[in-house]
């Protein structure tokens, strides 16, 4: 029998792979470039290969029309104005996500700082509620805090990815280490699908496409890119290019033709 969890995962992913735009930045950074009108970006990209989006509940409530893609509602936030910007606090419940018609829940967890214990508790408790409601949980797992010297250190990335899986996440989003071999080991040691974050806006389109190609070669199940999509001059075109790498196994150089 098909479960609610499977139905929702099928909306978030396509053929087991993910191309997602996280657009939760409005709480942490305000209406930054590309997010003054999130709905326009969503509708522009939803038919170009995108599988899902991550948005805060206020944006979900104000969308003019339902989307054609999966929606994960983001329920952990902090602001750049805070004295503790790495301290993510819960902003909603799984039951609320179900009522809103979301297909999944997203949490941001920073590992390596003094706020870590509180966020681990949030992750564990939210995972329990997600299991109760058959709701997929994506955990954004970042090495970030006073004890982290190099957030791209493969040992650090591997540890935080494993924490997400151990605490009950269905999908783990984390940083790419920068090379295929080290990331492949992390994928192998993490028992749930891994997708990579985009980080700061890339200097060139080829950079972000090449990172995508390499991450997929290492075994990642997709990408969740924010600024590299919504702040792009042609967000629909970069989505098309990314989709060709993720779903058609094209090379980064081949995918570049879709932007040019």
Binding site annotation covers 28? Answer: yes
- At 101, phi and psi to the nearest 5? 85, 15
Q: Any idea how long the chain is?
A: 260
259 marked among binding-site residues: no
Query: Six-digit token pair at 101?
Result: 């018609």
Is 41 annotated as a binding-site member? Answer: no
Which sign does the torsion angle of CA 174, 178, 179, 180 carry? positive
User: Residue 143 annotated as binding?
Assistant: yes
Active site residues: 24, 142, 173
Instruction: Tell me, rounded to whole angstroms, the distance of Cα 229 from its chain centroid.
Output: 12
Q: Is 27 annotated as a binding residue?
A: yes
Q: Report whether 26 belongs to an annotated binding site.
A: yes
Residue 24, annotated as binding a ligand: yes
* DSSP secondary structure of 101-141: T-SEEEEEEEESSTTHHHHHHHHHHHHHHHHHHT--EEEEE
The C-alpha atoms of residue 183 and residue 30 are separated, in whole angstroms, by: 32
Residue 227 marked in a binding site: yes
Nearest of 32, 54, 31 to residue 42 by alpha carbon: 54
Supply 213's token pair.
């190609």
Helix axes 235-248, 38-45, angle to 10 degrees: 40
| Numbered residues of the known binding site | 24-28, 142-144, 198-199, 226-227
């Amino acid at each position: 029998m098909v479960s609610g969890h499977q139905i929702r995962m099928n909306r978030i992913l396509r053929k087991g792979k993910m191309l997602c735009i996280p657009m939760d930045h409005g709480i942490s950074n305000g209406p930054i470039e590309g997010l003054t009108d999130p709905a326009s970006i969503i509708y522009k990209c939803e038919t170009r290969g995108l599988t899902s989006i991550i948005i805060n509940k206020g944006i979900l409530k104000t969308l003019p029309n339902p989307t054609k893609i999966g929606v994960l509602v983001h329920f952990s936030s902090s602001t750049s104005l805070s004295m503790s910007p790495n301290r993510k606090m819960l902003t909603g419940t799984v039951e609320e996500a179900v009522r809103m018609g979301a297909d999944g829940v997203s949490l941001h967890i920073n590992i390596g700082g003094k706020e870590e214990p509180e966020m681990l508790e949030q992750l564990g408790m939210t995972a329990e509620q997600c299991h109760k409601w058959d709701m997929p949980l994506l955990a954004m797992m970042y090495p970030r805090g006073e004890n982290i010297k190099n957030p791209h250190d493969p040992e650090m990335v591997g540890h935080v990815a494993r924490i997400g899986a151990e605490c009950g996440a269905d999908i783990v989003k984390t940083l790419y280490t920068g090379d295929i071999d080290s990331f492949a080991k992390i994928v192998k040691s993490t028992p749930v699908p891994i997708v990579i974050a985009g980080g700061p806006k890339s200097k060139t389109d080829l950079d972000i496409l090449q990172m995508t190609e390499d991450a997929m070669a290492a075994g990642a199940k997709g990408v969740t890119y924010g600024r590299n999509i919504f702040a792009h001059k042609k967000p629909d075109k970069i989505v098309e290019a990314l989709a060709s790498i993720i779903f058609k196994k094209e090379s980064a150089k081949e995918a570049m033709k879709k932007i040019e």
